[in-house]
């Protein structure tokens, strides 16, 4: 294999929400490009399956069970990762999903907070726990936060609010770590059929909220995630990149 064939050779990536859907697709894309990969989720069986697929591509893989909404659990996960790998080059904060979807006056405060924990605080927890190792690696790195077009448009529930805040976290963090050659960007996939959206979205069909959109499989998100991971030092940071088919 040439460097062109495997642009991530020698790199190590960690993907949260890596057991299925978009996270799994990105993990396999990175492994195919030469990276060793750690996948994180709450479900051991999913992690085992994805890690096996990565191993079959000839790369080193580990699955780390972790509730990324619990900072103590994230700290333990980061320690387990450090015990396995001496560097971190690419961090993808992908874990997320709708929890409380009702308007504020109809919402359950416990569910509202849980939605913010999953879609915003998890990216903060994981970044805080793992960025020190990326900095220690001394070769820069990439942080990719999986955002949403819903974070640009007012709507009910915690998901739009938390994703809007994730975009600001992306920008703020990018200004904190650029001197360490770490780039922090947002990736907006647009509508994707996943476990969480199945029943509401189907690949190839039009989603209910935008006639110009088409629903994609998770694999369609991976090329942009790979492009962001392979940018040279001094490339874009604090930016949002989208494969949506509507203005955001």
- Give the residue numbers marked as catalytic: 159
Q: Taking each helix axis from N to C terminus, what angle separates 122-137 and 71-84, rounded to the nearest 10 degrees?
A: 30
Residue whose token pair is 């494969």: 243
Tokens representing 237 are 């940071």
The Cα 47–Cα 56 span in angstroms is 14
The Cα 104–Cα 107 span in angstroms is 5
The Cα 52–Cα 130 span in angstroms is 24
Residue whose token pair is 């994730």: 166
On the 0-12 / 13-18 / 19+ scale of CB atoms within 10 A, 60 is middle
């Amino acid at each position: 294999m040439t460097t062109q064939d495997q642009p991530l050779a020698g790199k190590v990536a960690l993907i949260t929400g890596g057991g299925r859907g978009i996270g799994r697709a990105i993990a396999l894309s990175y492994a195919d490009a030469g990276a060793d990969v750690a996948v994180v989720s709450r479900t051991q069986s999913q992690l085992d399956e994805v890690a096996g697929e990565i191993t079959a591509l000839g790369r080193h893989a580990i699955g780390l069970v972790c509730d990324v909404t619990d900072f103590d659990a994230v700290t333990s996960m980061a320690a387990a990762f450090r015990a396995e790998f001496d560097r971190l080059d690419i961090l993808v904060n992908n874990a997320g999903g709708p929890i409380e979807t009702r308007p504020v006056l109809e919402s359950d405060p416990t569910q509202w907070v849980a939605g913010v924990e999953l879609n915003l605080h998890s990216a903060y927890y994981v970044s805080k726990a793992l960025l020190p190792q990326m900095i220690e690696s001394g070769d820069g790195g990439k942080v990719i936060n999986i955002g949403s077009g819903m974070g640009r448009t007012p709507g009910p529930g915690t998901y739009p609010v938390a994703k809007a805040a994730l975009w600001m976290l992306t920008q703020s963090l990018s200004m904190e770590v650029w001197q360490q050659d770490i780039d922090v960007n947002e990736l907006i996939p647009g509508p994707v059929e996943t476990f969480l959206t199945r029943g509401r979205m189907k690949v190839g069909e039009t989603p209910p909220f935008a006639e110009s959109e088409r629903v994609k499989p998770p694999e369609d998100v991976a090329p942009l995630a790979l492009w962001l991971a392979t940018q040279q030092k001094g490339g874009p940071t604090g930016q949002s990149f989208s494969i949506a088919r509507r203005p955001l």
